[in-house]
Amino acid sequence: SQTIHQWPATLVQPVGSPLSLECTVEGTSNPNLYWYRQAAGRGLQLLFYSVGIGQISSEVPQNLSASRPQDRQFILSSKKLLLSDSGFYLCAWSRTGNTGELFFGEGSRLTVL
């Protein structure tokens, strides 16, 4: 069976510090991978998606970046965090091809102070 894990679960960081959130998927090959953010009152916003190693598409201009160094690993990064980067970050995967059902990780709560 397929599983998805992301870490850390919670993170408190000062403004201007770097960020690295990691996500791995097991039990499947060549998944589509996604980073979403849930901010208060704004639902789930798609930040990045990837259809393969090294292939990253960004949905919104922002202070964050994503990388996919391995087939089942997806990383969300920032060089310098802003207060507005606070939120609940969710990694997700779907099967190869057109997006169907998304399978989400447990989420990472980021608080920037």
Partner 1 sequence: DQQVKQNSPSLSVQEGRISILNCDYTNSMFDYFLWYKKYPAEGPTFLISISSIKDKNEDGRFTVFLNKSAKHLSLHIVPSQPGDSAVYFCAAPGRGGADGLTFGKGTHLIIQP
Residues found near partner 1 in the complex (CB under 8 A): 32, 34, 36, 41-44, 46, 49, 51, 57, 59, 88, 90, 92, 94, 97-99, 101-107, 109
Q: Which is nearer to partner 1, 61 or 101 (CB)?
A: 101
Q: How far is the CB of 11 from partner 1 (least distance, A)?
A: 13
Q: How many residues does the chain have?
A: 113
Residue 39 exposed, middle or buried by CB count within 10 Å (0-12, 13-18, 19+): middle
Q: Which is nearer to partner 1, 49 or 85 (CB)?
A: 49
Q: How far is the CB of 71 from partner 1 (least distance, A)?
A: 15
Q: How far is the CB of 96 from partner 1 (least distance, A)?
A: 8
Q: How far is the CB of 67 from partner 1 (least distance, A)?
A: 17
Identify whether the C-beta of residue 111 lies closer than 8 Å to the C-beta of residue 17: no
Q: Which is nearer to partner 1, 3 or 16 (CB)?
A: 3
**CA 53 to each of CA 27, 59, 66, 88, 99: distance values in angstroms, whole numbers, following the listed order:** 17, 18, 11, 25, 17
What is the spatial distance between Cα 64 and Cα 9, in angstroms, rounded to a whole number? 18
Q: Which is nearer to partner 1, 17 or 57 (CB)?
A: 57
> Is residue 18 reached through a cis peptide bond, with omega within 30 degrees of 0 on the bond before it?
no
